[in-house]
Structure 1
């Protein structure tokens, strides 16, 4: 990302959602972005994906400019995006159909992705028969089956209970370790960001910019037990102190605007 800014025109004037972000995500790394509500995390992710045009600046992946949606960039959204009239296998094949992959390859990749996310045996099940966590696994499998270079995840576990979030988070980290894809993960949960990531970016309140880059120097083979360690608490406190200050600034601006 090179000097990326996004400005929206609203009835009350221009609003800068993202301001002058210049950052680099290393190849095959896992980076999480945290920040106050409304700070521009999802907007920045949309620019990286090519779904949102930057007002200024540019994004490139492996030297290629991002000018629009690209099969090499996979996105997993917060909302349930499964198609209710398609079973698990058909849902996973959907994105591959859209980019013209032949049927034999679709079936092979779909089966591999379904096994990778732990849904083997549910290929013929429909979304109405699955839990919320299982439906998010389907969405992840659909993204992985396209074999993107970069996977963007926009609060994919936000609607799930804490136990399911922890379980799926561990699964996502294991999948990342096996696939060696580059992952950018947006979350409100500091603990989730630390558990999953190699690096955490902290965004300011609007206009959103990166105010801290935190290297997560915890063991690669970490699990939920790491939350009780002194180093985890140090990392959590550093991120929280930045977020707390920005959240307070956001509340103050909102109160002023409402008067």
Structure 2
């Protein structure tokens, strides 16, 4: 309907995940400081408004920009919801059940999304796949303030927000993703290879920096825990294969 080029079509699809992946670590860290429920609400508003704006985009560039803004909002949702589950359910058995529900909802959404989108596109205009987000966001904004308690790390535990770490994580993740994406589309060439290598270096510097901070964004010592390290390794392998 918007007559995008092949490259624009690819960016319309990929831009959301591109921005979301780059900001996940940073947004989780911001939620620890300003409040996880507050970040969830702010991100939901951003995601909802960007969805509506995307539905009424009149050219490919506008749609790509709105998808990027959707990614910013989306990056707040996953770390906020999972962290809030941890704080809402202190009983170990209840917490396991809550995380199972959270995981099932995430998996079911990923599985049903393409099916629901296909049905919408069969019966309604293309922008229906964005407008369907609006009532869900309205419901979330109505229920979360009433049902979900706020939680933020105590001031002494949170420390100052480290912009250098945020930039390193963003640059590292986006460089690797962009390099892999370009290689998949256009084949192996020098520039994507340099981007992947640069992302790996930035990732290495990020990890080294976390080891020197009193309040790291991610504590590298967590990976020494066999249960945590094993589950993360399996998760990363599954995501990479997907």
Q: TM-score, normalised by structure 2?
A: 0.25
More helix by share: 2
